[in-house]
Structure formats: C-alpha cells, structure tokens
Structure 1
C-alpha cells in the first residue's frame, strides 16, 4: 500500500461533526487522536444512554453552534501530555485527510489551553501516512495519474 506524505499540520474534514478543512496537528508522539470538546456529558434519551458535547473550533474562539450526540462511544484510559493516566470518552467518526476517507477514533478532551484543537496520533497514521515534519498541508486531495 502506498503511503501518502503529510506535514506536521494538515487540513482535515470531520463531516459527521460539521467540520470542513480545519487544521489538525500531526503528533507522532501521541498514540490516540484527540479532539477539543466542552460540556461533555452522558444523558439518557428515550431510555438510551448517549454522549453529548460541543466542539470549539477552529482556534478555540467559537463554537460550531450545535451539541453533538453520539449513541456509540466508550471510555478509554489514556496518558495526557503530562504523562498522567486519565479516563476520556472515545468516539468514532469519518475523517477525510489527504484525499482518503476512513473511520477514525478520537478521544474528547479540554484542549482550550493548547494551540491546536485537533491532534492526530499514530493510530490514525500507521500504514497510511508518512510525516515530513518540515512541511505543512502536504495532504491535498489525491488525484490519480492516468
């Protein structure tokens, strides 16, 4: 399988979350990908437990304006940037990066003090992408050569 070369920051789309061409930091030091979320809560709707949250995009200065609801989610133990273990909610959603679309896992965390709202970890990158840390936005949509 050919691996596309991407840079240290890339524009991605998360269509199910209403995000199109937003910046994400590629972090080969992180295993799991992370998405900034606020007002994260579990609620019971029609007898079913759901996860509700809002995402703050793109530079932590405005809400997308809607509360997202996920029926399929789980909790995952992760090490934060300080090396401390914590439990986070994990969702799966469609990711579009460098002309490829696939289902990716994201943990939800408060990244309001971080420069980047979205972090792409090794799990998403493995087998799909190589990272050139000297560049940004290399992953423009793929066009096959005929």
Structure 2
C-alpha cells in the first residue's frame, strides 16, 4: 500500500534551492509558474557517450554575479527539447533529471541546461517541478530558510 501523499507546503516567489546530486552550494531560484520547465545556468556544455548512453558534462555557476565559483558536473541526458525562452525565442536544450531540495523536502525534477547570463536568477523552477508539492505566496521570499540551512 502506497503512503499518503504529503500536503503541499508554502514557498515564496524566490527561494534557496538545493541540488544535492550536482553540488553542495545553494542556488537562489525564481519560482516561475509561467514556465513549464525548470532551468539552471550552465556553461561549457558538452555531450559525450558513457557505456553507450548519452551523457553531458557542464559547469554550474551557482552564485549570482560570481563567475569564479565553478562546479564541474556530469549527468545522463534525459531528453533534448525545444524550449521557448522568456524572450520568445525557441532553443534546443539538454534536459537532465536530478533532485531538487526545498524546505527540507526533496524530489526528482527535470532541469534544462541553459546560459542565463542576462537573467536575474541562476535557476528558474517551473510549474512541472512544483505541481502538487507546493503552494506559492507571491508576496513572500525565502520561506524555506536561509541559504546556509537548505
């Protein structure tokens, strides 16, 4: 018998997000229900093959306005999709699956790799990652706690 689903919890319009399978540095993320897919700022994105399967290597730059902090990551490629960016342009993006940690809870999400140099946040968490898990108070920020406690 499956366990009872957890009640959704309250988050703000921006939160410190953890990506424990990729890095140990919290990322300031914008909660964006207008976006279907979540995205992370990634550089040096390179596809390769490992044991006959498609993988990707990339660098995360998790700290806003700091390009010196770089975290090398690798992950299996889950998908490659056309994604419409905030300026209306369509981009082909690599999609990986990883765990998102918010407010002491964590769950798997799909995350696209994209250059977000001009964006105000290094990470955007879209509605698919949030569905049935959270309630959002658009007047509040950082309801899940400070970066050092995520």
* TM-score of the pair, normalised by structure 1: 0.87
* Aligned pair partner of 1:56 in 61, 72, 78: 61
The residue correspondences of 1:1-146 to structure 2 (distance < 5 A) are 1-45=6-50, 48-140=53-145
* CA RMSD after TM alignment: 1.9
Runs of 4+ in 1 over 2 A off after TM superposition: 19-22, 43-50, 62-67
The secondary structure found in structure 2 opposite 1:17 is: coil
Cα offset, 1:65, TM superposition:
3.5
The CA deviation at 1:63 is 4.6
Structure 1: unaligned runs, 5 residues or longer? 142-146
Shift of 1:47: 5.7
Return the TM-score normalized by structure 2: 0.84
For this pair of structures, how many residues does the alignment match?
Answer: 141
> Which 5+ residue runs of structure 2 have no aligned equivalent?
1-5
